[in-house]
């Protein structure tokens, strides 16, 4: 990798204004394997100025020109897909096969979807005598997380490009290498100078400078609710648009008529995937009280089938969590579950016995959990499932919605109409009925403290558009 100590600004790789380096840690070894440059407000100023200069010309490009750019990016991405997957596996600990197939595959899925959307999206139409025009909002600041890094880069950069916006990306400093590969892809695809810029750095410095910058018209942020609040506060002084996808504590309701062997196993698998580091993970499994003992046994067996170990090993299903801070947080919350009286079904504190280094967490299941326990309230962001028994339908709906978050909910029902009735009562932006396949055309985002705005498909495109009314455009 040739560009770890540089930023991508104005169509070229450039050195930082004020040289400073940050170690990139391999979470499987706890050792640094490279260093990246971290930016300052001066670097942000330089990137924003580049995006501002490029905006007038890029905003006037045609649909055809923007489609040609997206197709060129897709072609280059196909060439570098393995590099993206390898980077993600090393920097955040995802098993290599999962990183290459699923994590890196999300970049292709979003590219193909945005090309499809841009081909037909109605940017202008007439209502009565008024022209309604959807126009690019301007220069956008994009801050992306470490847990699904290329997914979040793609679902911010691509709609911004399709809309006609220019941008500055700040990827997570915990997962910075895939963003370098992405930037190389953007360059190879012939992205016009200044349209796409990338500055590495910390949220406290680079993220803050972007959020408060008077020449950034919109901030799109994915990360923790705590950090999202800081982005919104810093953005408020310039009244810029803020779109946020934040934390989650998603309920998974198993109704009494389901096949419990299948529904519980799939719920455990969904929770443990990516080491539990997914904001929409089904972390609270609600089960009928009379099936609680049965569910415990099924969940225990499912969790213990996850092989924990080196991400590069082909048999590994669960890699490490991303860093020491995340590991310690998860350990603290596991201890809180034990202390507050939840039943530890499997897993528990510490690393798996066969591992003596790396940020590895035991696949953990708690049962007999009540919704007032810490492990049912806080987002753990690790491979920890909580099982909560419920007495009746009214109670489970109330408990499922009793959370600060509202990103996702899951409902499992043999009677689909019954499942739909429960889904209609969920205060969440996404409801997954009977473990469906993902849908990159569906709007992704949350209620309550899970954020505002939506990503994916046409919904993501519209976040980057302003609405103009030209009244009297057409004679009466």
pLDDT of the residue at 476: 75
pLDDT of the residue at 230: 96
Who has greater pLDDT, 39 or 1?
A: 39
Q: Is-contact 182 150, C-beta < 8 A?
A: yes
% of the chain surpassing 70 pLDDT: 100
Tell me the average pLDDT of the chain.
97
Q: Tell me which of 140, 155, 165, 279 is the catalytic residue.
A: 279
The CATH architecture that domain 7-246+450-470 belongs to is 3-Layer(aba) Sandwich (3.40)
Q: Tell me which of 76, 91, 184, 245 is the catalytic residue.
A: 245
pLDDT of the residue at 62: 98
For residues 353-359, give the mean pLDDT. 96
| Residue 472 CB burial class (10 angstroms; 0-12, 13-18, ≥19) | exposed
Taking the C-alpha atoms of residue 404 and residue 427, their distance in angstroms, rounded to an integer, is 10
% of the chain surpassing 90 pLDDT: 99
H helices, E strands: number in the chain: 15, 22
Q: Is-contact 51 166, C-beta < 8 A?
A: yes
Q: How far is CA 285 from CA 334, 409, 443, 472, in A?
A: 16, 10, 24, 55
Cα of 61 vs its chain's centroid, Å: 29
Maximum alpha-carbon separation in the chain: 78
For residues 418-432, give the mean pLDDT. 98
Q: Is-contact 96 89, C-beta < 8 A?
A: yes
Question: Residue 378 — very low, low, confident or very high, per pLDDT cuts 50/70/90?
Answer: very high
Domain with CATH 3.40.309.10 in the chain: 251-447
Question: Residue 1 — very low, low, confident or very high, per pLDDT cuts 50/70/90?
Answer: low
For residues 296-315, give the mean pLDDT. 97
* 127: Cα within 13 Å, side-chain hemisphere: 8
Strands 408-412 and 251-254: parallel
| Annotation marks residue 155 as catalytic | no
Tokens of residue 66, six digits: 């923007």
- CATH T-level fold of 251-447: Aldehyde Dehydrogenase; Chain A, domain 2 (3.40.309)
H or E element in which residue 56 lies: helix 41-59
> What are φ and ψ of residue 14, in 5° steps?
-130, 155
| Residue 202 CB burial class (10 angstroms; 0-12, 13-18, ≥19) | middle
Residues 114-134 have pLDDT tens digits of: 999 999 999 999 999 999 999
Which residues are within 8 A (CB) of 148 and not within 5 positions of it... i.e. 6 or more apart?
103, 106, 274, 278
For residue 448, pLDDT over 60 is answered with yes
pLDDT of the residue at 475: 84
User: Across the strands, what pairs with 343?
Assistant: 367
For residues 336-341, give the mean pLDDT. 98
pLDDT of the residue at 73: 98
Residues 181-203 have pLDDT tens digits of: 999 999 999 999 999 999 999 99
| Annotation marks residue 127 as catalytic | no
For residues 77-87, give the mean pLDDT. 98
Tell me the residue ranges of DSSP E strands in 121-179. Answer: 124-127, 130-136, 139-143, 166-170
Taking the C-alpha atoms of residue 372 and residue 388, their distance in angstroms, rounded to an integer, is 11
Taking the C-alpha atoms of residue 100 and residue 462, their distance in angstroms, rounded to an integer, is 30
Domain with CATH 3.40.605.10 in the chain: 7-246+450-470
Q: Is the pTM of this model over 0.95?
A: yes
pLDDT of the residue at 2: 83
Q: Is-contact 345 302, C-beta < 8 A?
A: no
Residues 162-184 have pLDDT tens digits of: 999 999 999 999 999 999 999 99
Taking the C-alpha atoms of residue 132 and residue 468, their distance in angstroms, rounded to an integer, is 6
Closest CA to 408 of 443, 368, 380: 443
Tell me the residue ranges of DSSP E strands in 332-453. Answer: 343-346, 364-367, 384-390, 405-406, 408-412, 430-433, 447-448, 451-452
Residues 208-233 have pLDDT tens digits of: 999 999 999 999 999 999 999 999 99
């Amino acid at each position: 990798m040739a560009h770890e100590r540089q930023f991508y600004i104005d169509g070229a790789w450039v050195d930082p204004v004020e040289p400073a380096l940050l170690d990139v840690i391999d979470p499987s070894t706890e050792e640094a394997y490279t260093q990246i440059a971290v930016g300052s407000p001066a670097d942000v100023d330089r990137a924003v100025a580049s995006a501002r200069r490029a905006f007038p010309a890029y905003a006037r490009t045609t649909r055809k020109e923007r489609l040609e750019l997206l197709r060129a990016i897709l072609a280059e991405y196909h060439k570098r897909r393995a590099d993206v997957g390898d980077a993600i596996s090393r920097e955040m600990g995802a098993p290599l096969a999962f990183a290459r197939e699923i994590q890196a595959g999300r970049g292709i899925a979003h590219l193909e979807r945005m090309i499809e959307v841009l081909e037909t999206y109605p940017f202008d139409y007439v209502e009565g005598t008024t022209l309604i025009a959807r126009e690019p909002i301007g220069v956008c600041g994009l801050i992306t997380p470490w847990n699904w890094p290329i997914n979040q880069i793609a679902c911010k950069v691509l709609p911004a490009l399709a809309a006609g916006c220019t941008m500055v990306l700040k990827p997570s400093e915990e997962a910075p290498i895939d963003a370098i590969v992405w930037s190389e892809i953007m360059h190879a695809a012939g992205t016009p100078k200044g349209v796409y810029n990338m500055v590495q750095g910390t949220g406290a410095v680079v993220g803050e400078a972007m959020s408060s910058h008077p020449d950034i018209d919109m901030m799109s942020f994915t990360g923790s609710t705590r950090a999202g609040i800081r982005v919104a506060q810093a953005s408020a002084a310039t009244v810029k648009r803020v779109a946020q996808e934040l934390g989650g504590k998603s309920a998974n309701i198993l109704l009494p008529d389901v096949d419990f062997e299948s529904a519980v196993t799939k719920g455990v698998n969904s929770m443990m995937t990516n080491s539990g580091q997914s904001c929409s993970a089904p972390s609270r499994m609600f089960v009928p009280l009379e099936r609680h003992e049965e569910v415990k046994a099924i969940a225990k067996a499912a969790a213990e089938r996850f092989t924990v170990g080196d991400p590069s090993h082909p048999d590994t299903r669960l890699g490490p969590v991303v860093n020491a801070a995340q590991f310690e947080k998860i350990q603290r919350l596991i201890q809180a579950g034990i202390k507050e009286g939840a039943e530890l079904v499997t897993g528990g504190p510490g690393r798996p016995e066969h591992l003596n280094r790396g940020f590895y967490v035991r696949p953990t299941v708690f049962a007999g959990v009540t919704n007032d326990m810490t492990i049912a309230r806080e987002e753990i962001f690790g491979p920890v499932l909580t099982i909560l028994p419920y007495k009746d339908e009214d109670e489970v709906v109330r408990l499922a919605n009793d959370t600060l978050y509202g990103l996702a909910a899951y409902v499992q029902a043999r009677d689909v109409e019954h499942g739909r009735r429960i889904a209609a009562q969920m205060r969440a932006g996404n409801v997954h009925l009977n473990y469906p396949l993902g849908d990159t055309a569906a709007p992704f985002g949350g209620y309550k403290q899970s954020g505002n705005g939506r990503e994916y498909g046409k919904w993501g495109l519209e976040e980057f558009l302003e609405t103009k009314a030209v009244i009297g455009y057409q004679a009466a």
